[in-house]
Structure formats: C-alpha cells, structure tokens
Structure 1
C-alpha cells in the first residue's frame, strides 16, 4: 500500500511539472546564451536576408543588446522576447519565431490575464473594436496600465514580421491578436486600467477592466464589430472565392485575386485559373473595357507561376520573376538542428540530394554568395499575353499583401499605365526573401526559428516613390475612414470608382 502511494505521489509530481509548464517559468541564463550563440550562427551561415536591410554594424549592435538583455532575464518568456526582437529586426515577412508546441498549448489553457477586447487601427488611432457596456465602440485607447498606447504597440510589433521596416502590415496581426501579444510582452495581467476618449470627444475617461482567459478573448475577436468587413484579412479562401471578374459599367471592370495558391503548371486549379484569365481578358478586349480595377488587397501569396501568368495579361514588356537570386551556402549548415522527423545522426544520409540541387540551381559563386544561373526557371524571360490589357489599371493594395502577392503587385505597380490606391503593403517593392523555407529548433529552449533562404531582387523598375526597405507605396494613400468603419463601407473601392469617373469626364 505504501508503494502504491509513493508511485501515485511521484506520478502527481511529474504530471504537475509537465502540465504546469508556463512561458513565465524560470529559464537559466546559461541555456539562453547557448541558444543565442547558435541562433546567431544559423542566421549568419544560412539566412541570406540577414543583411538585406541592416548593416553588419546594426546586426552586431542588436546582438550585443541581446547579450546584455540576458543578464537581466530569468524566464522563458524573457528569452522568447529577445529572439522575437532579433527575428523582427532583420525585416522579412517570412521570418517566424515560435515557442514549443507544449508551451503554445499551455497559453490556450490560461484562465485569466488577457486584455478582454480586440482593438483596431483607424485613421491613425487605436480604437475599441467591440460593442460592450464598458468602453463605447470606436473609443480611442490612450493608455493601458499607465503605458501610452503608442509605446504598447511599438513593444508588440516584434511578434508580426514584415519586409524591411514596414509598419502597416503589423496592424494585421495586432488587430487580431493584440491580447495574446500583450500577454507575451507584459506577462499575465489580472486588471487593466484603461484611459480612453469616446468618438468625437476630447474628454478622457478611465476604467478598470477585469482580464479574460485566452479562449474568451478569442471569442470576443470572433465577435468583433469589424468582422463582416475585415474577415477577408484572416480567412482561408475557398476555391470559388479565390478570384472573380465583373463589369460595373461599359467602361470599367474589376478583377479580384485573393490568393495565388493554385498549384503549379500541372495542377488542375492552375489550369482552371489560366482558362479563366484567357476567357475574361478576351471578353475585356472584345468589350473595349477602358479601365480595369485589379483588387489584390487580401492576397497573402501562393505559388508560381500563378502570379507571373496573371502579370502577363497586364503588361506590354518582356519580364522574368527576378533579376537575380542567391543563397548563403552550397551545403545545408547546422543540419543537426534543422526541423526534421529524421534523427539527427541519420540526416547526412538523405541530405546529399538537397545539397546537389542547391549546387545545381545556385552554382555561380561570388563574394561568398551562391547565385542562380541564367537558365533557371525563375530567370526565364516571359512575354506579354496576346490578350494583354492595354487600358488604365487601378491597382488596389493593402497591408495584407505579401510574398507572391507583393511580387505581383510590385510588377503591376511598376507599369506606366497603373495607378496604385490603398495602403502600403507588408511585402517589399524591390525584393524579398522567399521560395524555400528553413526551420531550425534551438536545443535548450525548443524555440523554432523559420526563414526563407532565397534573396530575391524582383524584376521591377526603380521609381521615385518606392523606397528600398518599405512595402509598395500607393500613389493615393487611402485608409478606411472612421465613418466608413462604423458603416462597414469600402473607402478604397469607393475612392477608386470616383477617381475613374473623374478621369473619364476629363
């Protein structure tokens, strides 16, 4: 009987140790330093985007900062935040930092400590995006727990990566996961002292809000006021929602492309899409449509060659996917730590074929970089389609646009017949890191760090209004107004249609 009690107690202790794990648990500085050293070595040897937007001095400086931060750190959350800051600093929307799945699941079971309501960025202000009796809908948040909202937002930017120093794209993540990010940065918080101003008022009010569980916060997110309008930023597109075309009058049509994830040349989805493009552009030409609105505001990327095939219907020039592309290695570094189901001591057996592919594709060595050769499919010269549109293009963009979506939008924005309307994209105009994702697992913290290894220079012209370390900059910067937010109206589409009418009159 005593033996049974002993093992029952032991099982309880072990179970408690496993299931009570938290990101706020202690984590030794020794383990932090070992993982930080490996993290830096991985980035230097494997990540071609490390110095894309940052000088070597800037990278050295932030790693010196990280080392000093460890001296003042004691928890897993502290270290996770250091790695998140380093990941974001590089400036690539394909960068990602994730804690272990066990700890990620532990967040979802937390019963309190979360800010209760979703917020949203509208007209330069962070507002309450939930109808409730505590804080009126649309009220501007001034501060939370004596921290100005501008400071809070800046602290949370590191959890949602974008290209270069782009900030608009980070709003996509903050609008949805503000409370989760707040918890990661500030820890569990039982109450929140909020100073706010009601809409159209200069008077501030203060209220104390009780925290919610992780689960209940996301229930509120699903019931946010703006969901009918902005769910397009977060949804997984059904096949029949991905693309569409409609004429709105005898002069103007709207082509909407919400995703380029339609497979490669042999995929039936791709073939169906190509047939759709050929059909609608034949109709556009036959009907002598003068103005084409190309709406890619909710296009987060996808697969080649869907973006390139689409562009062939919107250009009069020969083009290629990129001007150049390179990686940092010719043999995969740090194989022991790469994410894989294969035991580390066996990985050398299967890695040979991957190394051979890299060496074949990126065979031109220059200054420790390995460049694609001119015969690569990515460097292939493509021609305009015979049915290519020759009228005025009005390109609608938003912070959601990324990866293949931003490559396509950049190429269209570079055309002389294109007017770009909306908000700066999270994806860069001149290039990005993409194509091939790698994930490494840091051995002590089990933090996974992901990035794409191919440094791409996109085939776009230089333009005065396009900045190297930013997203695509619109010719007309148009944000949803507060009034249109309340009425769930599309400010950008309305602006575009009014602009077309004005241009037709002129």
Structure 2
C-alpha cells in the first residue's frame, strides 16, 4: 500500500513536471516584459538588418504593439508568438526563433490537436495535398473552423521568415509545417470543421474531421501527393547528387545545382565540384551548346565559394561577392545571453575569436557602422573562367531558392543574356543579411533567437521589374496549374524548352 502511494505521488509530481513544460502554461507578464526588453536591446545592438526593410518608426511601432500584446497575454505560447512576429517583421530569411528543447519534446508527445492533412499552394489556392483522406485530393480549402483560409495563413506566415516582404517563400514553410503552425497560433483543436470545394466545382461542402497527433501529421506529410515532384528539396543528398548536367538534342544543355552545400576550398567535396564544372563547361564548348538551362529551383543555399565559382563559368563580367557589407558592433554584445554551450564565465574566450574575426574583416568605421575594407576576401575581384559560357541562359527559379542560392541567382539574373523563368525566390535580389549567425537565449523564457549579422549589398545591376524588398522576380512567371499538379508536370522546364525552341526558329 505504501509503495503504491509513493508511486502515485511520483506519478503526480512527474506529470506536473511534464505539464510545466507545455507551451500552453501560464507565463507571467513581468517575465514577458523582461525578455521583450532583452530581445529589443540585442536587436538594436547587434542586428545590422533591423532597419534594412523597415523604418525606425515602423520598428518602434511594432515594439509598442508587442508591449500592448503582453498586457493581453498570459501563456508561454502567447509570448512566443509575439517574439515570432517581431522576428519575422525584420525581413531576413536567416532569422529564426525557436522553442527550448523541453517544450519541443512535449509538443512531439501530443497525440491530438493537429490538422490531419498537408496542404500546398497551387494556382492561387490552398489545396489538400493528400490522397485517400476524408477530403478529396486537390480540394480547395475555403475555411477551417469558420476562418477564411486567406486570413488564417496570414497569421501563420510569421513562423517562416523570408527576405524583405516576400510571401512566396512563406508558402514553402506552410507546405511543410502547416499543421504545426496552426497548432502554435490557434492551439490544439480536437476537431476541424473544414469548408472546401472540389476541383471545378462552385459548391462549398463542409466536413468535420478529427485531429491527429504531432508525429502523425508529419508522417502524413511524408506521404503527401506532391512528394515525387518536390522531395528533392527535403532529401539528404550525397555529394554527387547535388548537381547534374545533361544534353538535350544537339545544342541545348541542362545544368542542375540542387545545393551549394559542398564545403569550402579545403574539402574534397568542393574540389570534386570544381572538377565537375570544368568537365561540363569544356564539354559545352566542345559540343557548341547555344542554349543552357540552369535549374536551381531547389537550391536553398550552402557555402562559399561554390556559388561564386559556378557564376564564374556563366558570366562575361568581372564581379565580387558584394558591393559593400557592414555590421553594427565592434564587439559581440550581450555575451551573458549568447547561445554558447559553455559556462557564462568562459564565454569571453569564444567571443574573443569572433571579435578578432569581425575586427580583421570589418575595420572601417563610419556612422556607427563597421564596413568591410578593400582587403576583405569578399571584395576579391573574380574574373570569368576561361571556359565561361557565352550563349543564352535560361535560369529556373522557385520560392525555395535562398541564401547562397539566391545570391547566385541574382548575379546571373542581372546578366543580359539571362532569361529568368519560374516563381519569385525567397532570397532577395539586391541584398540580404547573411554570412555569420549569432544566437541568443532570452533569460526568462529560454526562447532561442538567431540572426545573421552581416548586411550585404549584392553585386548586381538594377533590373526594371525588380522591387527592392522582394525576391528575384522572373521575366516569365510560370507556376503549376491544378492539372499540372495532379499530373506532376514540370511546367517550368517544359516552358523553358519550348521558349528555346521558339527562339531558335527566329
């Protein structure tokens, strides 16, 4: 009997510990205000991109909004959502705000409350991206629990950051994490009342469906209908699976680069990629290729100098990684909150090497900014490779293109012999914040927040159709229709090859 009482007490204590790790638990406004101030101070001191796309007045305004929101908030999740909104507002795809691991573990254990189907943006609509469910594949979602889908997704965009005011990239995030994002914003739902339209029907039907657990919703994502078409974006590619070249007919080539994550000059993977490029472009010259499709639609970035080396084989101009770059501090601020896995009293050691690196590279001070000087490696002038391609380039882009992928795409898009086809990229055209990330942990909530500190102006020309705060905008906007989606048709590649055919007949 005594043993049973001890077990019962242990069970109650354990359940309270686990419950205490729930994002739905209460969290004091006093702690929220302390963490909000720390978050703001860090951003003002260390984030050079804070006002890249937002004015000082706009930034002040959203922090006033955050202070008012705290006055209406009482849970940990309420505060997390405020910090996510602030993080997204800045407009950098390298920004990230995340929950502590103990909260994530609790989320993964939740066995209900999540929307049961993955979704996908097709032809201006959010469609059910799952076959053999209670709602037919390809049905347009109109409302969930009474909320119009257009209003609903606006509230979920804050969880997936993109450059500037780009929206297309946020849809990539919702394609992957719609169920989780819904739970984070609206809480756990036992059931979902879904209003939907079947394809080619004006009739709005309604169906109440049961929720699923965290793990089940991601299992279903792995069984999404579009997987054969978009799985490469999620795949853990081996070294030589990251790039490919093939020839079509007598004068057309297709160069595909899925990732620039091939290491730097010291790695064998990088050296193998250099050998691949040299071999391919030697062959292109030998075979007299007149039209080259460069497909980077799944390229989310990677490491220098893979993007720059690739561009050197595709341009006729001299170039550099950026026109200018700067950071907003001389020494890394707020070390006591830094995301370093070392005791606080030892953090100055790691920070010291970071500070030396920054001071060696960003040594020109002007108006409280620290700029890269002409001796910086990023300002090295690159020459076109001796085997650089001279024909017409058809660049395929998508919302998945980011970071080093979008830097490469921006430089190539700026060349006169390049035609850009596809959908607006997640990464910016004129610049971005990148290169070196800093991480911090807010003292009360332990929320983790990361951002890249180098404000870059990319070495690209002005383009008539290019908006400053947006991703790379194609010359030809081409995206899947409903039938393309159902039939898994690569309409963008088909369009490029048809355009090549038409141009060759002129």
Structure 1 residue matching 2:246: 3-state secondary structure: strand
Equivalent residue number for residue 373 of structure 1:
373
Is there any run of 5+ residues in structure 2 with no aligned partner, and where?
A: none
In structure 1, the partner of 2:38 is: 38
SS at match of 2:275: helix
Q: String of CA shifts for 1:415-448, please: whole Å, max 9, x gaps.
A: 0000000000000000111110111000111100
Following superposition, the deviation at residue 341 of structure 1 comes to 1.6
Q: Larger deviation: 419-428 or 460-469?
A: 460-469
Partner of 1:17: 16
Residue of structure 2 equivalent to 1:240: 240
Q: Residue in 2 aligned with 1:67?
A: 67
Taking the aligned partners of 2:348 and 2:272, their CA distance within structure 1 comes to 41
CA contact (8 A) 1:260 1:301 kept: yes
Q: Distance in 2 between matches of 1:503 and 1:376?
A: 42
Cα deviations by residue, 1:28-73 (Å, 9 ceiling, x for unpaired): 1100000000000000000111000000000000000000000110
2:489 counterpart residue number? 489
Give 1:17 deviation, angstroms. 2.1
Give the Cα–Cα distance (whole angstroms) in 1 for the partners of residues 220 and 359 of structure 2: 50
| Alignment correspondent of 1:182 | 182
Q: How does 1:311-350 map to 2 (within 5 A)?
A: 311-350=311-350
Deviation at 1:277, TM superposition (A): 0.6
Name the residue aligned to 2:209: 209
Shift of the 334–7 alpha-carbon distance from structure 1 to 2, 3 Å rule, reads farther
1:353 paired to 2:353? yes
Looking at structure 2, the residues matched to 233 and 477 of structure 1 have their Cα atoms a distance apart, in angstroms, of 21
**How much does 1:497 deviate?**
0.5
C-alpha distance in 1 between matches for 2:362 and 2:154: 38
Distance 1:379 1:32 in 2: 42
- Partner Cα distance (2:205, 2:181) in 1: 25
Show the 5 A alignment for 1:382-393: 382-393=382-393
Summarize deviations over 1:167-209 as a string: whole Å, max 9, x none: 0001111011101000000000011111111001111101101
How far apart are 1:350 and its partner, in Å? Answer: 4.1
TM-score normalized by structure 1?
0.98
* 138 and 169 in structure 1: CA distance in 2 versus 1, 3 angstrom threshold: same
Using the size of structure 2 for normalisation, the TM-score is: 0.98
Superposed displacement of residue 240, structure 1:
2.4
Q: Which residue of 2 aligns with 1:428?
A: 428
CA distances 1:60-91 after superposition (whole Å, capped 9, x unpaired): 00000000000110101100000000000000
Contact 1:27 1:75 in 2 (8 A): yes
Whether the 8 Å CA contact 1:397–1:423 is kept in 2: the answer is yes
| 1:8, distance to aligned residue in structure 2 (A) | 5.1
Residues 99-498 of structure 1: matches in 2 within 5 Å? 99-498=99-498
Residue by residue over 1:220-260, the C-alpha shift from the partner in whole angstroms, topping out at 9 and shown as x without a partner, is: 11111111111122222221210010001111000000011
Find the aligned partners of 1:381 and 1:215 in 2 and give their Cα distance: 49
Query: Shift of residue 133 of structure 1?
Result: 4.6
Q: Measure the CA separation in 2 of the matches of 1:181 and 1:500.
A: 41
Assess if the C-alpha contact under 8 Å between 1:107 and 1:214 holds in 2.
yes
SS at match of 2:467: coil
Contact 1:172 1:233 in 2 (8 A): no
- C-alpha distance in 2 between matches for 1:289 and 1:344: 59
Provide, for residues 457-494 of structure 1, a one-character-per-residue CA deviation record: whole Å limited to 9, x for no partner.
Answer: 10000111111100000000000111111111101001
8 Å Cα contact 1:478-1:491 kept in structure 2: yes
- Aligned equivalents of 2:489, 2:196: Cα separation in 1: 25
SS at structure 1 position matched to 2:394:
strand
Q: Distance in 1 between matches of 2:172 and 2:393?
A: 26
In structure 1, runs of 5+ residues without a counterpart are none
Partner of 1:169, secondary structure, is: helix
Taking the aligned partners of 1:460 and 1:427, their CA distance within structure 2 comes to 14
Q: CA deviation at 1:352?
A: 2.4
Asked if the contact 1:190–1:211 (Cα under 8 Å) also holds between the matched residues in 2, the reply is yes
C-alpha separation between the residues in 1 aligned to 2:4 and 2:211? 39
Shift of 1:215: 1.2
Distance 2:357 2:486 in 1: 53
Cα separation, 2, equivalents of 1:232 and 1:149: 28
Equivalence for 1:501 = 501
Paired residues of 1:131 and 1:137 also in contact (CA < 8 A): yes
Aligned-CA RMSD value: 1.2
Q: Distance in 2 between matches of 1:267 and 1:472?
A: 30
Aligned equivalent of 2:83: 83
SS in 1 for 2:168: coil
Structure 1 residue 356: deviation in Å?
2.0
